[in-house]
Amino acid sequence: MNWIQFGRLIRSIYSHNGKLPDLDWIQKQGLLAVKLGQVHALRSDFLEPAKCEHLSKLFRNNHSMGSEDFLNLVESTAVPEFISNFESIEPKALASASVGQVHIGILKDGNKVVIKAVKKDVRKNFKRDVSSVRNLFKFISFFYRKLKRVGNPEAILNDIEEYTLSELDLKKEVEGVKVLSSIKEEDKNLYDFSKVDFANVYEPLCNENVMVSDFIPGPSLDELIDEGKLEYNTLLELFKVHGYYMFCKGIFHGDLHPGNVLVDEAQSRFYFIDTGYIGRVNSKIRKGLFYFFKSLTENDFNKAANSLSEMAEVPLTGAAMEKFKLDLVDLYKDFPGKSVSEISLTRQMMETIKLGVETGMSFHQGIFAIVRSLMYLDGMVLRCNPDAVLMEDIKPFIDDFDKYL
């Protein structure tokens, strides 16, 4: 994706000409274009709902390769004698994502599994596109130096690059399952993990290119939202589990968008998939962000300002801190009691970070993983229950997390 194609992509997303972005064209531009489209699919605070709904198709509708091409890919990139372990492999793809393709298979012992394979050349092409867009950002930042301080598009691009390259190494996905499962096992007598699970992985059949795990029946959250069937309480239960990983452990699924969560028919059990990118944040960041959000649920914006400053790499002091407090209180003066459709949590967070940077704060790149997770939640709530007052509804969970910090 060159600079001209990147410009066309951004124009198609943000234009107000009534036209929806061309999804086929976006997919042809490569993985980075698809990832940017997916991020914007949840930004109904900035974009029209119809455009967000249209872009959300990028979570599940991608060009698929034929059965023969898939088998050739697996045979050339999997562990030796891979195919001999299977009784059969479904010729039709179960799913085709921007990163890879998934088919159902039956092992010799009769177990029903899914086979995931990374598409050929996707790593090389993604790295090339990231390099091109990064050079564009550097060029723009040279003439508009404030962009790096306020918007910092390079840091956002670095975040996308980090979690996407992790997804492209399926050994990391196997490791991600182990990490999250071990936390669940270690803390099962301390916290309620009964509603989250992970598919069993057949590690001897896995490498960086191909992964085999048990088949999990059930739709993704994205499919349920699209069909108007997702219950709002399901999202709150998701936050209850994911929030514990984020705030209490600082180790969490780093790309938990609605396509990466499967649920059972009763919407009573979650299955986290695509665990290649595990977010990790230090105690200072996770506690700082946690107490910032706890202060928001209590409508104590002076305390929220203090928490954010303490989390910054260089905290504010003196007149700068007093100015930040006044500006933050002004930013949040209409926030209490407002639904997500009236005031988006995502937009408030971005404005808060912008305000902090303009006042003199700087933040570790690690905050983007948590902010992105909360953006995904906010985006799902906007699509599922736009009248929800999210900060009031998550307050009981926030109060509960405080016991484990």
Burial 10-40 (b: 16+ CB within 10 A, else e): eebbeeeeeeebebeebbebbbbbbbbbbbb
Q: Is the pLDDT of residue 143 over 60?
A: no
* Distance separating alpha carbons of residues 383 and 373, to the nearest angstrom: 16
Per-residue confidence (pLDDT) for residue 142, from 0 to 100? 58
pLDDT at residue 3, rounded to an integer: 83
pLDDT by residue (tens digit) across 57-82?
887 666 677 788 999 999 999 999 99
Q: Average pLDDT in the 372-400 region?
A: 91
307-352: pLDDT as tens digits? 999 888 888 899 999 999 999 999 999 999 999 999 988 888 878 8
Q: What percent of the chain has pLDDT over 70?
A: 94
Assign 150 a pLDDT band (cuts: 50, 70, 90).
very low
Provide the pLDDT for residue 130.
92
pLDDT for 145 equals 55
Q: How confident is the model at residue 46 (pLDDT cuts 50, 70, 90)?
A: low
Nearest C-alpha neighbor of 148 from the set 329, 362, 379, 291: 362
Q: What is the 3-state secondary structure (H, E, C) of the chain?
A: CCHHHHHHHHHHHHCCCCCCCCHHHHHHCCHHHHHHHHHHHCCCCCCCHHHHHHHHHHHCECCCCCHHHHHHHHHHHCCCCCHHHEEEECCCCCEECCCEEEEEEEECCCCEEEEEEECCCHHHHHHHHHHHHHHHHHHHHHHCCHHHHHCCHHHHHHHHHHHHHHHCCHHHHHHHHHHHHHHHHHCCCCCCCCCEECCCECHHHCCCCEEEEECCCCCEHHHHHHHCCCCHHHHHHHHHHHHHHHHHHCEEECCCCHHHEEECCCCCCEEECCCCCEEECCHHHHHHHHHHHHHHHCCCHHHHHHHHHHHCCCCCCHHHHHHHHHHHHHHCCCCCCCCCCCCCHHHHHHHHHHHHHHHCCCCCCCHHHHHHHHHHHHHHHHHHCCCCCHHHHHHHHHHHHHHHC
Cα–Cα distances in Å, from 49 out to 8, 179, 231? 21, 36, 19
Q: Where does the pLDDT of residue 247 fall: very low under 50, low under 70, confident under 90, or very high at 90 and above?
A: very high
Nearest C-alpha neighbor of 340 from the set 49, 45, 40: 45
CA-CA distance, 311 to 320, in Å (whole number)? 16
The end-to-end CA distance of the chain, in Å, is 44
pLDDT for position 350:
79
- Is the model's pLDDT at 122 over the cut of 80? yes
CA-to-CA distance for 74 and 82, rounded, in angstroms? 8
Judge contact between 303 and 295, C-beta under 8 A: yes
Q: Which residues contact 40 (CB under 8 A, 6 or more apart)?
A: 13, 46, 47, 52, 55
**Average pLDDT of the segment spanning 228-234:** 94
Output the pLDDT for position 60. Answer: 67
**The pLDDT value given to residue 41:** 79
Which pLDDT value is given to residue 139? Answer: 74
Instruction: Supply the mean pLDDT for the chain.
Output: 89
In this prediction, residues 193-216 reach a mean pLDDT of 96
The per-residue pLDDT for 50 is 82
> Could you give the count of Cα atoms lying within 13 Å of 307 in the half-sphere of its Cβ?
20
pLDDT at 345: 85
Show me where the domains of the chain are located.
3-59
